[in-house]
Amino acid sequence: MTTTLGRARAAVVMAFVANGIMFGSWASRIPAIKEQAGLDSAQLGFALLGVSIGAVLAMTFAGYFAGRVGSHVVTWLTLLGCAVVLPAVASSASFLALAGSLLLFGATQGSMDVCMNANGLAVERAGTKPIMSRLHASWSIGSFLGAVSTTIALRAGLSVFEQFTALAVAMAVASAMLSRTMLSDKHAAEGPAFRRPPRRLAVLGFLAFCGLIAEGSATDWSGVFIKDSLGGSAQEAAVAITVFSAAMAGARLAGDRLTEIWGPAGLVSWGSALAALGLGSALLVAQPLPSIVGFGFMGLGLAAIVPILFRAGGSQPGIASGVGIAAVSTMGYAGGLAGPPLIGSVAGATGLRIAMAIPLALLVLLAVIAPRAIGGPLKAGIPVPPGEPVIGEKG
């Protein structure tokens, strides 16, 4: 059992890393793809919406199939689907071709996101310690590796198509490996896959919505705030994003241990408060370097929120894990989709400093609501649905 569980844990880590590598590789090649397709900034913005729209539309169906055939099956199948779509993204030479291929890429990658989280939750339940935060840290590491791979590809003189074709081959091999090593959770689903979500699941989705708006505001607007609102340099703007991302990735490595110590509700509440303090100080100090430090504290506070909310969504009694995670992640990614244009619109009318008060208010709301929205019986910090045994527990 220990050997099987260790192999399953390694497999789901591999899935998170693979998904992150694809995202990092794609994101770091956006400028080249924009030039290749002959798009201006406005056209690129609309084409990029395809990724988010595809993900939001597909996530519920991914949860449905994960509840029927097992998250392990849908995870490796959607990874294979990503491998098929990547060369199409790389060869897009027009707005319509790029928008269409990105819609498919968002659907396959978003579906994989839901199912690998569901499988990670199944592996976590099979053991005795939480692992979700480390899995999300693995995704962050994968995203970094994807960006590094693009740097290597550029130095080697590879085109986008050549790089993405090589990446697609690697992802297809990884898919084959996952099909043989991931933990089977075909019989883990309970209840119907489609049903009206209970109130608590809707609240968890709203919290994910708030958390991802805050996360998106830091990644999309922290650099702009440092450079345009505070008069910082381009280097300082880049450092702000780097510090935020590094703080989040590092904190996620410690998130599982902190979940055991403080409990999931406490960690989300205190983490939201820390993130609000960091963002608030960045807005108030009005100096580039102290504000960069504030964004670093924001990354530390936000790190564990999404892993814990996904775990809670997948631990609702009577609802398949994949369906619960899909519900929470769909609402969360809707926040990531709506956040940047919302903040940009408000900033155009009032200034970016006032607009950034929106995620600040949502973080305060998160800190207040989390203790009541997240809870339930715990086993080493892991929510366990009623009647579900834990390995090593009698009965």
199-234 tens-digit pLDDT: 778 889 899 999 988 988 887 778 878 888 888 887
169 lies in a domain?
yes
Q: How far apart are CA 379 and CA 20, in angstroms?
A: 29
pLDDT for 195 equals: 54
Q: What is the pTM of this model?
A: 0.77
pLDDT in tens, 117-154: 989 988 988 887 888 888 988 988 888 888 788 888 88
Q: Are residues 248 and 335 in the same domain?
A: yes
> Is the Cβ–Cβ distance between 178 and 79 less than 8 Å?
yes
Q: Please state, in angstroms and rounded to a whole number, the distance separating the CA atoms of residues 301 and 360.
A: 12
Q: Which amino acid is at 327?
A: A
Q: What is the CATH number of the domain that holds 205?
A: 1.20.1250.20
309: tokens are: 């909310």
For residue 55, give its domain range: 2-181
Short-list 343, 352, 325, 341, CA closest to 49 = 341
Residues 26 and 104 in one domain: yes
Residue 2 confidence (pLDDT): 57
190, 316 Cβ separation under 8 angstroms: no
If you search the block for the tokens 């994003």, which residue do you land on?
Answer: 241
**Token output for 184:** 């089977």
Distance between CA 72 and CA 371 in Å, rounded?
31
Residue 368 lies in a domain: yes
391 is a domain residue: no
Question: Dihedrals φ, ψ of 379, to 5°?
Answer: -125, 100
Strand partners, 383: 378
pLDDT of residue 187 exceeding 70, the answer is: no
Last residue of a domain, one of 154, 181, 208: 181
Of 19-33, 183-197, 233-247, 256-270, the one with minimum mean pLDDT is 183-197
What is residue 225's predicted lDDT score, i.e. its pLDDT?
85
Assess if residue 41 is contained within a domain: yes
Q: How far apart are CA 16 and CA 21, in angstroms?
A: 9
| Digit-coded pLDDT (tens) for 311-344 | 888 887 777 777 788 888 888 877 777 777 788 7
Choose between 334 and 288: higher pLDDT. 288
- CB distance 383 to 200 below 8 Å: no
At residue 390, the pLDDT reads: 36
Residues 217 and 272 in one domain: yes
Span 98-117, pLDDT tens digits: 999 999 999 999 899 989 99
pLDDT band per the 50, 70, 90 thresholds, residue 15: very high
CA distance 289 to 237: 10
pLDDT for 83 = 96
In order of 63, 100, 243, 253, 259, the CA distances from 115 in angstroms are 7, 23, 29, 21, 22
Q: Give yes or no for residue 161 having a pLDDT over 90.
A: yes
pLDDT of residue 41: 66
> What pLDDT score does 236 carry?
83
In this prediction, residues 87-101 reach a mean pLDDT of 93
pLDDT at 388 over 50: no
Q: Pick from 304, 280, 312, 302: which is nearest to 293 by CA?
A: 280
Note whether 324 and 273 are within 8 A (CB): no
Q: What is the DSSP code (8-state) at residue 160?
A: H
The span from the CA of 387 to the CA of 194, in Å, is 22
